Structure 1
Amino acid sequence: MSEAYVLTAEARERVGKGSARAIRRNGNIPAVIYGDNQPPLSITLPSKDVTLKIHAGGFMTTVAEIELDGKKHRVLPKSYDLDPVKDFVMHVDFLRVSAKTEVTVNIPVHFANEETCPGLKKGGVLNIVRHDVEVTCPAGDIPEFFTADLEGLGLGDAIKISSIALPDNVHPTITDRDFTIATIAAPAGLKSEEEEEAEAEAAPAEVEVIGEEKEEGGEE
């Protein structure tokens, strides 16, 4: 679980597109805090602080504390908008949470022991089906990432969600099947061990037969 961080906000009295543009011109970002059966709060946040948190990774899965007028609001980012041309942050929505709040989040998957994976050492390719997994869990116990161990996996093997150790209070939203996270795929043209062994055994036998035919022909 990532550690919570603090952002200092100011109240936003006016809303609308004109107000939002003025806020962004002053180096801030308009945002909203909602949820927990409380009225939504319209706020502004320093653009630099929010942008740094987004680029640092884990922004959508890390609980934050927003300090507003001396009061701290415990929140989880739910969405943010980027300018389609200049790619700067335009708006952020935050959900109020407590330690008991159940949230649905996407947790990234990291892969371990790629350098020792037998299938990859033979020329196989790690085919990632899911870069992250959607789960439900308490807001105070959101995992930073899941680890998929490739140790001992050969060509054609698959990593299922059941192969990943999940905390007891973290549950995948897909519950009707043991879905695939990644596979060790053989690249096109790569022969299997069985094919190579069969060809190695067959080659000497063919040479021996040809040699016998030539000897019989010489006797005649």
Structure 2
Amino acid sequence: MRWVTFDCYGTLIDWRHGIRTGAELVAPGQGERLLEAYTRHEPEVQTTKPVLRYRDVLAETLRRACAEEKVDLAPDDASILGETIPYWPPFPDVAAGLAELRAAGWRLALLTNCDRDLVAGALRRLPVPFEAVVTAEEAGAYKPEFAHFEVFRSAYEPEAWVHVAQSYFHDQVPAHRLGLPRVWINRLGHEPEDPSVIQRVQPGLHGLRAAVEAAYDEAAR
């Protein structure tokens, strides 16, 4: 059984759009500033408070972002990201990229730092069904810890497995350390800290099937 595992937010769902527009609802005109501050704080919140549910990670990180940027945030408004996350949109290239993989016989799974109740909203918006989902709630940790990958391997025993994700920190580094074939969806045009971590790179999901199969074949040699 051939599997492609994906990160969800940032890879398939437009995470930056969701954070920015959610922040705009409670702090008009401050969405871009708060998005950049949010991206700096979230990994620390996930590391220092690994037992928090993801909706609470969203709220705590937004509080820290607002404090850093000196933006007033009403206590009740800290929940805005958790309330709006079910409505964050998929990227336009997702439908074709996923459909091409399924047509080629690959099964699809999500390894997400979200909780199951929140990722249910994403699954309704994604245009292609997924056979498996592993959440932070089930794994008991947030990526870049290995728990998501270990839970998936134990539950599904994949014969062929390629991991596809946008986040260098959360996904590419642990997949590299586990020796998994991998494709980096580098939507932001970033340079990797360590180029050896990156096996295949794509700017989006167009042509993803070829990249996935090349990564798998390269690792199998």
Specify which structure has the bigger relative contact order, considering alpha-carbon pairs within 8 angstroms and separated by 6 or more residues: 2
Superposition TM-score, scaled by structure 2 size: 0.24
Report which of the two has the higher share of strand.
Answer: 1
- Which structure's residues are more often helix, by fraction? 2
